[in-house]
Amino acid sequence: MDSLIKLAELSYSYILKNYYNKKALYTVLCAYGVFKTIYLAFVDPLRKVPGPWYARFSKIPVRYAQFSGETQRYFQSLHDKYGPIVRAGPRTLSCSSSKEFKQVMSTYRYKKSTIYEGFANVHPNIFSTRDETLNKTRRRQVGPAVSQKGLNVIESLVSSVCIDSAGTKLEQLTQEGSGSAEINYFNFFQNITTDVVGELGFGIKIGAVQNEGHPISGWINATVKNSMRFNSFPLLKKFQRIMPGLSNNETNLKNLCMGQIKQRQELIKNNSLDPNTYDVLQIYVTATNPSTNKPLTNDELLTEIVAVSVVGIHTTSITMTWMMAYLMAYPEVYRKLVQEIRTTFPDRSKKISISEAKEKLPYLVATIHEVLRVVGSHGNNLFRDIPKEGLEIHGFNVPYKSEIGMFLPGANLDSSVWEDPKTFNPDRFLGADGDKLKKEVLAFSTGVRMCPGKDFSMMQLYLVFANIFKDFDFSLPADSKFVPNSKNSHPIPNDITYITRLPANPQADCIVVITKSS
């Protein structure tokens, strides 16, 4: 045994003496670099996938686009140049084909990639989890709240916010402004969804519409931005852990949600909760984990309520924002939509229900679907890991340990599905193929990880726009840079993508004038 130890020591000394020097180190590094270059250029199984030359060697351009909010533009430019399948990194592909999007998203075989981990600095939840079992469990638990039956139960509550509170606020503003007022529609719509989620998420009246804002909106906007920025470069995640100040917004959001959880638990403990209480928090508080047959822990409750708050407030309000932006840029569409609503519902004192909007306002339905198609709230790539059996897509074999991004904005512009795909044209949904085309809109994703809150979001879109356009006129300020002109017939605010796709400068660019309709 001693002789073996001495032999090992001699070998170690020999290696240190002869090879552990700068020259040897440089030689090894150069050899590795040459080998890696030759492999990536001539042997790599992804070498024939079209894309920029640098994508074979580095994913840094993708990470920089994610960090800077240029994700949508970056990937769209790649697909415009190279086609529906493109290489974006040494082991990263992006696909903009609608058909392949549905194929990959139809199964749990392709797990969400690691970029989803740590969203909002909470544990995995219904939206961020990479685990099939957890996702299925949470979908079963929250399913009753977002089913059509559940939505029928809560429609009156949603209506009270989307119609009554919003209408009252606009009425107040126009009266105070002697018949007209300027509003920031990005803020206004986010206030609406904040109040809706407050009521249906954890049963409280936030009052964001009436008070013209609430801090939770800012916390959520910052949380979404930070999640993408910190996940784009893994090193930044370590800074976030050792510098708590970088996560103040996430902390504030978690504290608010945990406060509501504990308050609800106390009400239940004291038998003080209204037996008719029906919200997402109550569904989760009374749910059990199938594996343990025990209630969800506070950490599990927190991560789900944070997720509901972020997704429920942020994404729906962004869709509303783009709806208004496009209608202001396309005045002929706006006029046609307003005429349909006011002709169909001439009684201004009557509220338009969701069923009436869907059944009697086909142009409203078409316009909402076209906005979701052209500029939905999600502007990112939905990255999925390739399993051991690999993936065959567009004639290429993608090997294990690679990842593929299913580029949602690109899939909604697939020319094999959409005629003149980059043109904003709600009329495309009114023809003989209208109903079929509506099913091709992928704004809420599709398949096994489709957004469970799709119908809930659509309910708000129908209620808000049917009723505010019935009662109020909207126009751009005379000095707005988004007034259609000879140089730009359809000016739209610049966008930025941090997971979601929102106006880059909403406080300056999202201003409209409102007046009471005559």
Domains and CATH numbers, the chain: 44-516 (1.10.630.10)
Directed axis angle between helix 60-68 and helix 71-82, to 10°?
140
Neighbours of 303 (CB within 10 A): 26
Q: Which residues contact 468 (CB under 8 A, 6 or more apart)?
A: 166, 167, 170, 474
Q: Is the pTM of the predicted complex or chain greater than 0.75? A: yes
Beta strand 403-407 with 396-398: parallel, antiparallel or unpaired? unpaired
Q: Give CA angle at 378 (330, 166), nearest 5°.
A: 60
Using alpha carbons, list the distances in angstroms from residue 1 to 4, 5, 363: 5, 6, 86
How many Å apart are CA 258 and CA 260, to the nearest integer?
A: 5
Which string of b and e fits 21-37 if b means at least 16 CB within 10 Å? eeeeeeeeeeeeeeeee
Using alpha carbons, list the distances in angstroms from residue 246 to 78, 216, 227, 369: 32, 17, 11, 37
CA dihedral 450, 417, 110, 227 (to 10 degrees): -60
Tell me: is residue 451 an annotated ligand-binding position.
yes
CA dihedral 367, 368, 372, 378 (to 10 degrees): 140
Q: Give CA angle at 306 (135, 387), nearest 5°.
A: 30
* Per-residue model confidence as pLDDT tens for the chain (518 residues): 455 455 555 555 655 555 555 666 567 667 766 666 676 666 789 999 999 999 999 999 999 999 999 999 999 999 999 999 999 999 999 999 999 999 999 999 999 999 998 887 888 999 999 999 999 999 998 877 777 667 777 888 889 998 999 999 999 999 999 999 999 999 999 999 999 999 988 888 999 999 999 999 999 999 999 999 988 887 777 777 777 677 899 999 999 999 999 999 999 999 999 988 888 999 999 999 888 899 999 999 999 999 999 999 999 999 999 999 999 999 999 999 999 999 999 999 999 999 999 999 999 999 999 999 999 899 999 999 999 999 999 999 999 999 999 999 999 999 999 999 999 999 999 988 999 999 999 999 999 999 999 999 999 999 999 999 999 999 999 999 999 887 888 999 999 999 999 999 999 999 999 999 87
Q: Give the DSSP H or E segment for 48.
A: none
How far, in whole angstroms, is CA 253 from its chain's centroid?
Answer: 18
Neighbours of 452 (CB within 10 A): 20
How many Å apart are CA 206 and CA 425, to the nearest integer?
A: 37
How many Å apart are CA 148 and CA 345, to the nearest integer?
A: 25
